[in-house]
Amino acid sequence: MKSIKGYIERKTMLYKTGVEYGDYTMNHIQGCAHGCKYPCYAFIMKKRFGQIKSYEEWIEPYLVSNTIELLDAEIPRLKNKIASVHLCFSTDPFMYQYPEIAKMSTSAIKKLNSAGIKCTVLTKGILPVELSTFSRDNEYGITLITLSEDFRKRIEPGSAPLDQRLAALKELHDAGCKTWVSIEPYPTPNILEQRLDELLEEVSFVDRIVFGRMNYSTEVTAYKRHKQFFNECAAAVEQFCFDHGISCHIKEGTIRE
Ligand code: SF4
Sign for the pseudo-dihedral over CA of 232, 213, 246, 19? negative
Kindly give the number of the ligand 1 atom that is closest to the alpha carbon of 88: 3
- Confidence (pTM): 0.96
CA of 243 to the centre of ligand 1 (A): 31
Domains observed in the chain: 6-186 (3.80.30)
Task: Tell me what pLDDT residue 21 has.
Answer: 63
What does the pLDDT look like over 33-53, one tens digit per residue? 999 998 899 999 999 999 999
Q: Is 19 a residue whose pLDDT tops 90?
A: no
Taking the centre of ligand 1 as the mean of its atom positions, its distance from the CA of residue 35, in whole angstroms, is 6
Give distance in angstroms: CA of 128 to centre of ligand 1: 18
How far does the centroid of ligand 1 lie from the alpha carbon of residue 160, in Å?
12
- Pocket probe for ligand 1: among 43, 152, 186, the residue whose CB has the most ligand atoms within 8 Å is 43
- Average pLDDT (52-57) is 96
Which of 104, 85, 82, 109 is CA-nearest to residue 30?
104
| C-alpha separations of 127 from 62, 202, 221 in Å | 20, 17, 34
- What is the tens place of the pLDDT at every residue in 160-213? 999 999 999 999 999 999 999 999 999 999 999 999 999 999 999 999 999 999
Confidence of residue 256 (pLDDT cuts 50, 70, 90): confident
Closest residue (by CA) to atom 6 of ligand 1?
A: 36
Look at the chain and count its residues.
257
Ligand 1 centroid from CA 91, angstroms: 6
Reading across the β-sheet that carries 62-64, which strands appear in turn? 6-8, 62-64, 29-30
Ligand 1 site-directed mutation target among 92, 96, 145, 182, most atoms within 8 Å of CB: 92
Please give all residues whose beta carbon lies within 6 A of any atom in ligand 1, as ranges: 32, 34-36, 40, 42-43, 91-92, 124
**Neighbouring-strand partners of residue 211:** 183, 250
* Res 135: pLDDT: 98
**Residue 22 in this model has a pLDDT that exceeds 80:** no
Collapsing DSSP to helix, strand or coil, 44 comes out as helix
